Structure 1
Amino acid sequence: MPHRSSVLNRKVALAFMAHPDDAEISCGGTLVRLQESGWEVHITSVTAGDCGSMSEGPEETARIRFAEGVNAAESIGATFHTLGEPDGRLVYDRVSLQKSIDLFRRIAPTLVITMPMSDYHADHEITGQLGRAASFVYAAPNASEEPVIEGSQVPYLYYTDGHDGEDRMGNAITPTTFIDISDQLETKTQMLAHHKSQLEWLRSHNGIDEYLTAMREHSRSRGTDIGTQAAEAFVQHRGHGHPSDDLLATLFPNDKSSLSIDSALQATHS
């Protein structure tokens, strides 16, 4: 396992997401808490988001969504990136993986939050695969032509909650980690509001009439799991080579929680 003290001395967090608004929906509150705690925060959209419109062409849609991603990230002092892969047609191959590794190499994150590998959207699942693979190998000298930044190593790795807290088959996800975002919910909402182009798209294509309300309701639902007003849920990757102590829970203990984690997990399955 990587030396924990070295990891914590370099406080760089990367939210490695599939689409420009995924970070705000799934882990925006936690990113705010990290930034407020002195972490350098990066948000990446693997795709260009070019299918996220019912009226504009792909190039214009990608341009709009990139600008929205930049504005949302900058509103909390974070940096936005995109790998520009095709929305809805993301594949796990050598090209997409190398682009992911090169990005990791330039950022050298010590904490990575990526997407669940079982979710309703295939782009989300493939992004999770790319995030896991890049996390494990990016610090290897021969993995990229990008220079190795001092402190590069296998990072803490977490997967975000699935849509409605479920996997691709509709089964409840069992989180390992809950982060209280009661004080950050309004900022999270403001971040997501920067993605104005998605209002009509989500209503027409996904049947979500009000994306801000849907996000807030799920955040409050996860808060109920741990006895707080709002929360975000994660599953930590604890496989060989990755740090297995729960960094997020150590950084942000649920001081306001009236439930134990065991009780929260029972509530998730009820």
Structure 2
Amino acid sequence: MAIDSRTVLVFSFLWISVGFMYGDPGTAVAQDGKLRIICFGAHPDDAEYKSGGTAALWAEQGHHVKLVSVTNGDIGHWQMSGGALAKRRTAESALVAKRLGVESLVMDIHDGELMPTLENRRKITRAIRQWNADIVIAHRPWDYHPDHRYVGVLVQDAAYMVTVPFFCPDTPPLKKNPVFLYSSDRFQKPYPFRADVAVDVGSVFEKKVDALMALESQTFEGGALGSAEKMANAPPANAPEARRQWLHERWVKRQSAEAQQHRNALIRWYGEDRAMQIDYAEAFEICEYGRQPSDDEIRELFPFLPKK
């Protein structure tokens, strides 16, 4: 039987209506009044590095966080590649998420080959809808790595489409647009990262370091740009305490530098006295696409920030 375009639209509308009333049975999410946050990174370490501490803070308050790698990381090692590496990095990412108290997803797209195609825009749109996100975090669309850049582009492209009913009509659209955020970076052109929100992650800093211990292929073996010589500089696998101390020192430098760089944003949200005492931070910039939150809304979305 031939089906014309009008019939397709009618059935699509009915499917969306059912989704609004009952939820998509294949992608049902708990309606428990808690926040739902989805963080996109290009590889199975990016979201963990950039948002792991804030993710842990949300999780400790019972909110729902998913860390998504848009590629499978299958060339992200100097000594191994392909399916074996993709499986290894997927398992590493899942263990990080478990330690942080959040969920993990690694998409099956080849590392180094991500493109801002219509198919991938649909994948990102569906992922945001299925998670019923209140907050979406991603790279900015300018970065040293093409996969990072294109994650930013794809998430930007989804920022409007997540609410459009007949785009990806197989997945019910969101009823309201999420707040879209960029994770921090050091790039200056076309304009430098500007922290709209900075979060004190001191209370979960040790938890984040413990979680990142799972990323052995990246943290201790050097990832794509590693080598036998570089591995020799890291403690061996049979010395876990030395490994943790080695990794801890690196993250003290990295997270304290973020706190220092974005001290003004910390002062804005924590007040000067407390902000000057914050050692470790993660920072986020509000994307001009998506919902534009007021200060009161930001405090609701980041409920661990001090109240007025």
> TM-score higher than 0.5 here?
yes
1:254 Cα deviation (Å)?
Answer: 5.7
Aligned residues: 244
Q: Which runs of 5+ in 1 are unaligned?
A: 1-7, 256-270
Which residue of the partner structure matches residue 194 of structure 2? 174
Alignment of 1:139-218 (within 5 A): 139-148=163-172, 152-162=175-185, 166-167=186-187, 169=189, 172-198=192-218, 199-202=220-223, 204-205=225-226, 213-218=249-254
Aligned AA (1:37): Q
CA contact (8 A) 2:72 2:90 kept: yes
1:205 Cα deviation (Å)?
Answer: 4.3
1:172 Cα deviation (Å)?
Answer: 4.7
CA contact (8 A) 1:118 1:168 kept: no
Alignment of 1:57-72 (within 5 A): 57-72=81-96
1:82 Cα deviation (Å)?
Answer: 1.9
CA contact (8 A) 1:113 1:157 kept: yes
Render the CA deviation track for 1:40-64: whole Å, top value 9, x for unaligned. Answer: 1111100001111112231100000
CA contact (8 A) 2:200 2:281 kept: yes
Q: 2:142 aligns with which of 108, 111, 118?
A: 118
CA contact (8 A) 1:105 1:144 kept: no
Query: 2:45, 2:52 → 1: CA distance?
Result: 9
Structure 1's 203 and 106: CA in aligned 2 closer, same or farther, altered over 3 A? Answer: closer
1:145 Cα deviation (Å)?
Answer: 3.8
Structure 1's 249 and 121: CA in aligned 2 closer, same or farther, altered over 3 A? Answer: farther
Q: Which runs of 5+ in 2 are unaligned?
A: 1-31, 234-245, 267-275
User: What is the TM-score when the length of structure 1 is the normalising length?
Assistant: 0.80
1:173 Cα deviation (Å)?
Answer: 2.6
1:111 Cα deviation (Å)?
Answer: 0.8
Query: 1:62, 1:17 → 2: CA distance?
Result: 15
User: What is the TM-score when the length of structure 2 is the normalising length?
Assistant: 0.71
Please state if 1:252 is matched with 2:304: yes
Q: 1:237 aligns with which of 287, 293, 296?
A: 287
Larger radius of gyration: 2
Aligned AA (1:161): S
CA contact (8 A) 2:128 2:136 kept: no
1:243 Cα deviation (Å)?
Answer: 2.7
CA contact (8 A) 2:93 2:104 kept: yes
Q: Secondary structure at the match of 1:252?
A: coil
Query: 2:96, 2:199 → 1: CA distance?
Result: 21
Structure 1's 24 and 50: CA in aligned 2 closer, same or farther, altered over 3 A? Answer: same
Structure 1's 69 and 187: CA in aligned 2 closer, same or farther, altered over 3 A? Answer: same
Query: 1:177, 1:80 → 2: CA distance?
Result: 24
Query: 2:222, 2:256 → 1: CA distance?
Result: 24
Query: 1:129, 1:211 → 2: CA distance?
Result: 32
